[in-house]
A and B are shown apart, each in its own frame.
Chain A
Amino acid sequence: MKVVNDDDRRLIANCLGGQRDAFGELVTRYQARLYNAAIRLVDNAEDAADVVQDAFLNAYQSLHTFKGDAEFFTWLYRIAFNTAISLKRKKRATVSLESGGVDGRIDPDDPSEYVKPGVALERGEDERQLQEAMNRLSHEHREVLVLKDIEGMKYEEIAEILGVPIGTIRSRLHRARLELRELLPPE
């Protein structure tokens, strides 16, 4: 497992020394990646933004407990995933494809340039289909597929984030792929 890189280590040390800007730098570095993963888990942009925000705040408050024996992003990811689970439990969201509650489109309410109709959020039918299928997976299966295929992580990193043995990751991925095969027609 990699240890935290020097840049991150320097920023973390500066942040602990009282420089909030250093933490801002960390947010800039990792917010996109974290958001991209969070939105696959919680199905809508508002919740994903909440997850990312909460994850960074929790990380800020627990920064002194970060041991530096793993990549900072792995640690941050773990907090984000736990936050996403807590948010889902709190909201007890019911996903209903019939009612079109979550149709795979990601249109956050935030009136920023990002969500201007037809600008950045043009999604083909292919993407929509993929996201719909992902939404129908169980949370466990969705997590491992996001981390493995979308984030490109190895078994060991995924096991570290989710806090389960590597064998469990392997079997979850196996079942997740089989389940996705049932939900997605061949191209």
Chain B
Amino acid sequence: MTDELLQLMTACIDGVLNPAEAGVLSQSLAASAEARATFAHLKANSVRLRKSRRVAPPAGLHKRVMACVATLTPAPMHAPHLQKCEKKAEPTRNAPVPASPTTRKSRAWAPIAIAAGLLISVTAGSFLFFNQQNDRNSTARNPNRPPPATRAGADNPEWAKWLPVEHGPRPSVPVPRERPDNTVVVRPAVPAVTVPSIPVEPDASLAVAPQPRPVRSDLHAAQPQPETIFDLVQVRLPFLRPLSDLDRDDTRRQLAEELARDPAFRIDLFTRDPARAVAVFRDAAKVAGLTVFTDATTQDRLTKRQVNTIAIYTESFTAAELAELLGKLNAEDAKISPRVFDALHAMPVSNADNTDIKAILGIDPGLFKRPIADKEKDKADKTPDPTKPISAGTVTEVIKSVTAGQPGANAQPKPAEKTAMLLTWGPNANRTAPNTSVELKQFLSKRGDRKSNAVPAIIVIRPGNG
């Protein structure tokens, strides 16, 4: 019994078969008694599991749980998303990491906080205390400083020496008095001279400064932002799988769906041996009917290990066909032990990739342009051109009617040849100049119009750490 049939059986038991698969399974079961017996056995096991007795929890479990909950710190109160969130969102893939058992005990924050507070208050108190002491003792230490002010004021004998001595009526001319050294002399304030304000008329010739631009907060000066709660965050991740996963239909389907999302893709194939990997790729290309034009210089440098990253550019495949090509690559790789390829990484082509491919091909392949759909193009071809005379197509029509019935006259056009170009991608210094590659010219001459549903792909074969 094949693994595919067994998979259909288990999928049927899981209830996920589509009508086509159900039909295949029915036919297989009808044709084979062994298959029927196996399916019955699998189904019976599933029914036994479903009907198995449900085990009730111990009676005291609820009490145990709530007793432990009572010892825990209550969960934080703020959860506005539980009130606000009404719409469905992407399910989260990552559950919250459960706390370890040690954190179930209540954290001893309070004693630490109290100790910190005591330390700060003692430090501040000592600072103030000693500061005051310094002030009181300052006159003893520095006789040139006046004593601290007291309520006695001028009656304080200590202040006597600091105050000016009265010697009868003031002379008309100030007489210098004896003063102790370093005395601060305070002269009566000179009455301020009021300067009348001069009215200034605005000079019409002066340009008026513009209003200051609004300040844009940068990283350093930004104000704290209000808390933002996202209802839904969509992240696009690259398609990253081991190449060996492409033996599964669902993986190839996912890859095809991914490749259909954007106009052009870069597909990185990681390998330990680029030269061998290129050989394996050529084998797979042969199986897929793909003609690979290999630049001779690149091949030579590859053999001499002077290049480590190879690019294969093709625009002949649709998304599904690309996935199939890579599936065939996986099949060829599986024949070798150990396998040559590791992971496959697919991302839409970036601007940098576009620049690189233009550099190595010597032309702009128009990666981001979608060709006109074939039907629209045919329609455009069939629409009569009003500027052409009616008789312009007569000769062609006559020839067609004459040759109708002859062998080959109505033959379907040959399917377009699938082509790809293999060139050096890195290091940049070892890239082949486009105008020197004969193989590149051949590829470009066979290029033709791209199909509307084709997905240009830059397949980069590179070492893992490159």
Instruction: Show the binding face of A for B, using Cβ within 8 Å.
Output: 1-4, 9, 12-13, 15-18, 20, 23-24, 27-28, 31-32, 35-36, 39, 45, 49, 52-58, 60-70, 75, 78-79, 82-83, 106, 108, 110, 112-115, 120, 123, 126-127, 130-131, 145, 148-150, 152, 155-156, 160, 163, 167, 170, 173-174, 177-178, 180-181, 184, 186-187
Task: List A contacts of B97 (CB < 8 A).
Answer: 62
Establish whether residues A186 and B41, one from each chain, have CB atoms under 8 Å apart when the complex forms.
yes
Establish whether residues A177 and B58, one from each chain, have CB atoms under 8 Å apart when the complex forms.
no
Pick the contact of A62: B11, B61, B96, B248 (CB < 8 A): B96
Q: Is B68 an interface residue (CB 8 A)?
A: yes
Task: List A contacts of B92 (CB < 8 A).
Answer: 67, 69-70
Tell me the smallest distance from the CB of A130 to a CB of chain B, in Å: 6
Pick the contact of A127: B53, B66, B85 (CB < 8 A): B53
Task: List A contacts of B74 (CB < 8 A).
Answer: 18, 20
Q: 1/0 per position for B33-62, CB-CB distance to A under 8 A?
A: 000011011101110111011111111111
Known A-B contacts A57-B68, A112-B59, A113-B59; A17 and B77 likewise in contact (beta carbons under 8 Å): yes
Tell me the smallest distance from the CB of B18 to a CB of chain A, in Å: 13
Establish whether residues B85 and A68, one from each chain, have CB atoms under 8 Å apart when the complex forms.
yes
Establish whether residues A67 and B81, one from each chain, have CB atoms under 8 Å apart when the complex forms.
yes
Establish whether residues A56 and B65, one from each chain, have CB atoms under 8 Å apart when the complex forms.
yes
Task: List B contacts of A177 (CB < 8 A).
Answer: 10, 13, 42, 45-46
Question: Measured between alpha carbons, how far is A3 from B82 in the docked complex, in Å?
Answer: 11
Question: Measured between alpha carbons, how far is A146 from B92 in the docked complex, in Å?
Answer: 22
| Chain A, Cβ-Cβ closest to B98 | A58
Question: Measured between alpha carbons, how far is A35 from B88 in the docked complex, in Å?
Answer: 29
Establish whether residues B65 and A65, one from each chain, have CB atoms under 8 Å apart when the complex forms.
no
Establish whether residues A155 and B45, one from each chain, have CB atoms under 8 Å apart when the complex forms.
no
Question: Measured between alpha carbons, how far is A150 from B38 in the docked complex, in Å?
Answer: 21
Which of B99-107, B118-126, B180-188, B366-374 contacts its partner? B99-107
Secondary structure at chain A's binding surface: helix, strand, loop or mixed?
helix
Q: Classify chain B's interface size.
A: 35 or more
Instruction: Show the binding face of B for A, using Cβ within 8 Å.
Output: 6-7, 10-11, 13-14, 16, 37-38, 40-42, 44-46, 48-50, 52-62, 64-66, 68-70, 72-79, 81-83, 85, 87-99, 101, 103-104, 248, 250-251
Pick the contact of A27: B10, B44, B49, B66 (CB < 8 A): B66
Pick the contact of B96: A24, A66, A115, A127 (CB < 8 A): A66
Establish whether residues B10 and A173, one from each chain, have CB atoms under 8 Å apart when the complex forms.
yes
Establish whether residues B55 and A16, one from each chain, have CB atoms under 8 Å apart when the complex forms.
no
